[in-house]
Amino acid sequence: MEARFRGKAALVAGGTGGLGQAVSLGFLKEGASVHVTYRSEAEYARVKDEAGQSAGSLIGHRADATDEKETADLVRKIGAIDIVVNAVGAYAGGTPLWETAVETFDRMMALNLRSGFVLARCAVPILLRQGSGVFINIASRAAMDHAAGAGAYVASKAAALAMMDSLAADLKGTGVRVNTILPGIIDTGANRKAMPDADFAKWPKPEKIAEVILFLSSEASSLIHGAAVPVYGAN
């Protein structure tokens, strides 16, 4: 097993979620100390259990990634951070825009857009002080493909993508890299439950997407900055 991240500290916001968990476990396997935000104690306990022998390098923080004060306190507490992955997000769809509740719109903006803004605001200054680091934001294929029935979701993901593009321009020449990941439907437990009749074999596994995220966090991807990387295979 390679240990590309030995001595590195990663913060995975939403690191106990369907994708976040695979990312957290991937970093742990390769030697990083991994800080995850969680909301449910049970979810965190499950990931800690999955981490097995590496569990000692997994540190959980109950925090709301859309709340600036909580996130600033969290980042201050962690201290040195080399890699930030924002895997916080949520989906809402199934209604045309005019029937979408204002609360749904606000929730999409908070979880899919504001989380990345707050994390960048709190963590990028640390990466800049070090003169190195990686920030990866998970957007969605829907940031580019604007299907019907998901106006608030696609708007939040398209805005998140644009925001990271601008952040990449801000970070030019600093040694800090930022990239966006664009998943389609991922083979998570939640998706299987929501779409029981779908062909699960067609959906990328979280672990395969985590491999791409680990690559983008590694030295081997030092030339990749400001990219939006599709991770939905040839589907």
Ligand X SMILES: NC(=O)c1ccc[n+]([C@@H]2O[C@H](COP(=O)([O-])OP(=O)(O)OC[C@H]3O[C@@H](n4cnc5c(N)ncnc54)[C@H](OP(=O)(O)O)[C@@H]3O)[C@@H](O)[C@H]2O)c1
Binding site for ligand X (CB under 6 A): 13-14, 16-20, 37, 39-40, 43, 64-66, 87-91, 111-112, 138, 140, 183, 185-186, 188, 190-191
Kindly state the smallest distance separating residue 42's Cβ from ligand X, in Å: 9
Out of 38, 44, 91, 153, which one is annotated catalytic? 153
Kindly state the smallest distance separating residue 175's Cβ from ligand X, in Å: 26
Kindly state the smallest distance separating residue 215's Cβ from ligand X, in Å: 17
Of 133 and 204, nearer to ligand X (C-beta) is 204
**DSSP 3-state helix, strand, coil percentages of the chain (rounded to 5)?**
50, 15, 35
Q: What are the backbone angles phi and psi of residue 176, rounded to the nearest 5°?
A: -100, 130
188 sits in the region (left: phi over 0; alpha: psi -120 to 50; else beta) called: beta
Of 20 and 133, nearer to ligand X (C-beta) is 20
**Which positions ≥6 away from 67 have C-beta within 8 Å?**
118
Q: Is 153 a catalytic residue?
A: yes
- Taking the CA of residue 117 as centre, how many other CA atoms within 13 Å lie in the half-sphere pointing to its CB? 15
Question: Catalytic positions, please?
Answer: 153
